[in-house]
Structure formats: structure tokens, C-alpha cells
Amino acid sequence: MKKILLASVLALAAASAAIVPSQAETVIVKNGKHHCRTRVVTHWRHHHKVVEKVRVCN
């Protein structure tokens, strides 16, 4: 039973690791002097993987 549970957890982790990079996107917004883009950032929060859209301006 433990082997099946471990195998399913590993399969889920591998699938999510493969899906996240394919969904990465960068949207560029130009507003006068500002050059902003929206980036998808992945990080860990309280033992959970979090994907957020962050606005980055020059």
C-alpha cells in the first residue's frame, strides 16, 4: 500500500513539474516611460508550491 501511495505522489509531482513550465508566460505592457511585464513566478510557501503572476517594471 505504501508503494502505491508513494508512486502516485511521485507521478503527481512529475506531472505538475512538467505542466508549470509550459504555462509560463510573459505579458509586456508599455505605458509611456514605464516598461512593465507580467511574469509567472513559482515559489514555496508553508511546504506548498505557489504560482503567482508578478508585475515587473524597469
pLDDT in tens, 7-49: 766 666 665 555 555 555 555 555 666 678 888 989 999 999 9
What's the pLDDT at 48? 92
More confidently predicted of 58 and 55: 55
pTM, entire model: 0.38
Strands lying side by side in the sheet with 26-31: 26-31, 34-45, 48-57
Rounded CA-CA distance 47/58 in Å is: 31
- Long-range residue pairs from 18-23, CB within 8 A, at least 24 positions apart, any chain: 20/51
pLDDT at 50 over 80: yes
pLDDT at residue 5, as a whole number: 65
Q: Which residues contact 29 (CB under 8 A, 6 or more apart)?
A: 36, 37, 38
Helices vs strands, H then E, count in the chain: 1, 3
Looking at residue 15, what is its pLDDT?
Answer: 57
